[in-house]
Amino acid sequence: MQILELHHIRLTARGRVLLDGFSLTLERGARCTLTGPSGSGKSTLLRCILGFTEPAAGEIRIFGAPLSPRTVWPLRRKMAWVPQEPELGNGTALEAIIRPLRYRANRGLGARGRRIRELAAHFGLPEDVLGTPVTKLSGGEKQRVALIAALVLDRPLLLLDEASSALDPDSRAVVAAHLRSLEKTAIVSVAHDPDRFPLGGRVVELPVTRQPDGTR
């Protein structure tokens, strides 16, 4: 079963074409790292998959269902997203992780206290960091908190946007190894330098798109 299908996607921003005719399919448990120059539409592509931005052309299917205003709500419950430079709202790091578990759609998941503590320990976040207000966390701590918040949701599709950019090399290796071990999770990861955050699977380089007037 295809978890994610992108067909002939065209992305535009402020009149510029970022990406044109882009297609990609991802099976259950498959990994794909998207790379490419800044402004090539990597992050925008993830936002399209989440239904936050509509592509100018093309079709997105998730679990076989075409992404539409009607299907996006149940489909978001099959994805988890770690945004670039995550902003986690108010409260402590632990609250930022627990808050999504209280959404009606996620109530079936339970409290997940043990899993949260295991992941935090594994990713090198001490207990006191979990009690710290999110606004006081460092960039690397925020990223790990956002990763834990995404992982405890146990979604079959994980969307990572530069999810390791603020991590030190040791944490990055631990996080990458953990993600590689998730056999049932399909992952789309946006990374400037895929070698520094190896998740296995394909590496797809987004092209610099030639504008209709011939400029780059």
Partner 1 sequence: MELAEISPSRLAAAYLMALVPLAIFLWYGVGLVRRTVIALVRMAVQLLFVGLYLSVVFELNRAWLTLAWLGAMILVADLSVLRGSGLNWRRMGAPLFLALAAGTLAPLLYFTGIVLSLPAVLKPQYAIPLGGMVLGNCLRADIIGLSRFFHALRDQEKPFLLALSQGASLGEALRPYLQTAFRAALEPTIATIATIGLVSLPGMMTGVILAGADPLSAIEYQMVIMLAILSGTALTLWLALWLARRAAFTPWGTLDERVLTETGA
Binding region for partner 1 (CB under 8 A): 47, 50-52, 54, 69-70, 72-73, 76-77, 79-81, 83, 86-90, 99-100, 103-106, 146, 149-150, 153, 159
Shortest Cβ 88–partner 1 spacing (Å): 6
- Would you say 79 or 198 has its CB closer to partner 1? 79
Determine the Cα–Cα distance for residues 188 and 202; give it in Å rounded to an integer.
Answer: 10
- Would you say 2 or 71 has its CB closer to partner 1? 71
Strand 157-161: give its sheet, edge to edge: 79-82, 157-161, 186-190, 31-35, 202-205
Shortest Cβ 195–partner 1 spacing (Å): 27
| Ranges of H-type helices in 77-138 | 93-98, 113-122, 127-130
DSSP H/E element including 176 = helix 169-180
- Would you say 11 or 198 has its CB closer to partner 1? 11
Shortest Cβ 213–partner 1 spacing (Å): 26
Instruction: Answer yes or no: are the C-beta atoms of 49 and 25 closer than 8 Å.
Output: no
- Would you say 6 or 198 has its CB closer to partner 1? 6
Determine the Cα–Cα distance for residues 124 and 77; give it in Å rounded to an integer.
Answer: 28
